[in-house]
Structure 1
Amino acid sequence: MATDELHALADDRELLGRTSTAERVADILRNRIAEGFFPSGTRLSEDSICGALGVSRNTLREAFRLLTHERLLEHRLNRGVFVRVLSVADVRDIYRTRRMVECAVVRSLGDPPYALDGLAAAVAEGRRAARAREWQGVSTANIHFHRELVALAGSERTDELMRGVLAELRLAFHVVDDPRRLHEPYLARNARIVETLGKGLRDEAETLLAAYLDDSRDGLVEAYGQRVPKSA
């Protein structure tokens, strides 16, 4: 791992507080993986991370175990722990899960009006990032949009499920060469979904969302498939 990555982890050390736990270490590493600090295929050094965060090997190994269960890390026999490299089949399966969950959330909404402040904030966040030409920021805003969409269900379990699914998806996002092409087209579509829900048109919003996810899947599969080995 590069020195900059270790310095970033050291900056997170204060987040652990006095009650350092494997869950909190996992949260830090999950966020850093989602942000692209540890790209797919990176070997994670126990010594370096323990030193940067000031935690024991046992705590770190439990955090590794949690993230392996979430499919963000993988243990390679006699080689160590690595950030997973998704296959194209993985990407397709992630979108299959997203479509089932996100469309079901919209379908199950009660009578309007809906609490759309979080979605509107994510749209505004994406527009600000696009104006600044910060395409990874646009990606992050899109992730926030979909997390806020799922949060409309009011279910902690669904929120947790989607947190893991979207974190895993970002492993693929960080591999793609042209993040603008991948993410910018969906800013307007996010806004259209918010507008439609604001009018109480739940069925129309679900139709828009389903088409959105299908198009996003196809675009990512095409771009990602050019960057990873066929056997990945």
Structure 2
Amino acid sequence: MKLQDTTVLITGANRGIGAALVKAFQQAGVRKIYAAARNPASIHIEGVTPIQLDVTNPEQVAAAAALAGDVTLVINNAGISTPTAGLLETDALAAARAQFETNTLGTLSVSAAFAPVLKANGGGGLVNILSALSWVVVGGSGVYSASKAAAWAITNGLRNDLRAQGTTVLGVHFGYVDTDMTSGVDAPKSDPKDIAAAILKAIENGDEELLADGVAQHVKSQLTAARAIYLGQPA
């Protein structure tokens, strides 16, 4: 995909990886950028078209697809992480509902709404921002990991469903990135600019999967180890 010919919509575009993607696409000289967020007033980047979009709100999703009928690339970046100590804690179910609504069902909702738009515009591309935690649970990440594992499965299904209409589906995995979401995490983190640059390169190459940092590369390589990484450490 030639980025200069692209009209892109990015969900969760007001901060973190979303904001880094907006700036990276601007530097690449894309045709147009729809920057979507729950509160469009929170988008402070000039030269974009802000859109109000809560991905858990079906009416807003439908309205966004109707408004942005010229889109050729959709980036499902919106996501949340609701802290919980573990899957058996009293707050786990509430956290799971919130995260699945945004991270999983929100991704599916936006993808389904924009699939006909992408088809009408020649196929284009769909990019789902996933995580190395799609494959493994670390500490109290069980709820978040589950939502991203489900989003990974949806991504794989969408790839099959959209192939006939010429839409390339890219799933993006990485470890911790230096954003507000990971502000309380004491671990090495990637720069959002580096992740955004890797995503744009993968889009240009027509890739279907991107392991955007060493963490994602390591985790995936260990899925078929003698003791697979997702089994955790034995007691």
Regarding TM over 0.5, the answer is no
Q: Which has the larger Rg?
A: 1
> TM-score scaled to structure 2, two decimals?
0.30
Higher share of residues assigned strand: 2
- Which structure has more relative contact order (CA 8 Å, sep 6+)? It is 1
> TM-score scaled to structure 1, two decimals?
0.31
